[in-house]
Amino acid sequence: MKIEKFALGILSTNSYIVSDENKNAVIFDCGVYSPKISSYIEDNGLKLKKILLTHSHFDHTGGCAKLQEQTGALVYIHEAEEESLNDRDKNLASAFPFSTFEEIKEYRTIADGDIIEVGDMEFKVMHTPGHSEGSVCYIIDDVIFAGDTVFAGSVGRTDNYSGDQAVQKRTLKRLIELDGDYKLLCGHGEDTTLDMERKHNPYLQRSYYDAGI
């Protein structure tokens, strides 16, 4: 399995292209349509099968429609994000007038525990609400594609549409209680590990996620 990272758009959102030995590929989030993405796919002879979204915010979804048109890849998003997926107010696109966002007309919904197969790869859906109602992480082997659920030293904000701090705390507790360590590939900023965040992230300490639950 090969993972390539791209930081794109006005909020430097991380997109990840993951491919197997047979050139089957998936992309996690695509905030803007970028020549860097299409060139990487073409130069490496990849077959982009699926676009897996961690949530509906425009900086993670704005380029998906054009990428889907180019490749025929299927878009997947949690069922709780349908309401906000193409609503410019709820997905925050209207707050950034210079952003690019195109409506995603074709997509499939997913739920907690679903397994998404792409070639030889299997990604497990973990529903991680808090940043938004339908935020998810995708887990494969010892890697978690975390979206805006958790960052290196921080977490996603909860004061936008369908965000909920109390729900986020329960999500973070669930992450903490996963067995073993994982590499966390986050929606913004640097990569980290679950063990590193267990030790140093103030939002993943018991004093935070137990408060008010």
| Mean pLDDT to the nearest integer, 117-135 | 97
Q: The domain that contains 124 carries what CATH number? A: 3.60.15.10
Give pLDDT tens digits for 51-92. 999 999 999 999 999 999 999 999 999 999 999 999 999 999
Locate 137 and state its tokens: 């992480």
**Residue 64 CB contacts under 8 Å (≥ 6 apart), including other chains:** 30, 51, 53, 75, 102, 104
What pLDDT score was predicted for residue 184?
A: 98
Give pLDDT tens digits for 57-68. 999 999 999 999
Q: Which long-range contacts (C-beta less than 8 Å, at least 24 apart) are formed by 89-93?
A: 89/161, 90/56, 90/161, 90/162, 91/56, 91/57, 91/58, 91/61, 91/161, 92/57, 92/58, 92/59, 92/160, 92/161, 93/58, 93/62
Give pLDDT tens digits for 180-213. 999 999 999 999 999 999 999 999 987 676 765 5
Give pLDDT tens digits for 12-31. 999 999 999 999 999 999 99
**Burial track 146-185 (b if 16+ CB lie within 10 A, e otherwise):** bbbbbbbebbbebeeebbbeebbbebbeebeeeeeebbbb
State how far the Cα of 85 lies from the Cα of 164, in Å rounded to an integer.
18
Number of domains observed in the structure of the chain: 1
> Which residues constitute the domain of residue 26?
2-209
Lowest mean pLDDT among 15-24, 94-103, 120-129: 94-103
Residue 101, pLDDT above cutoff 90? no
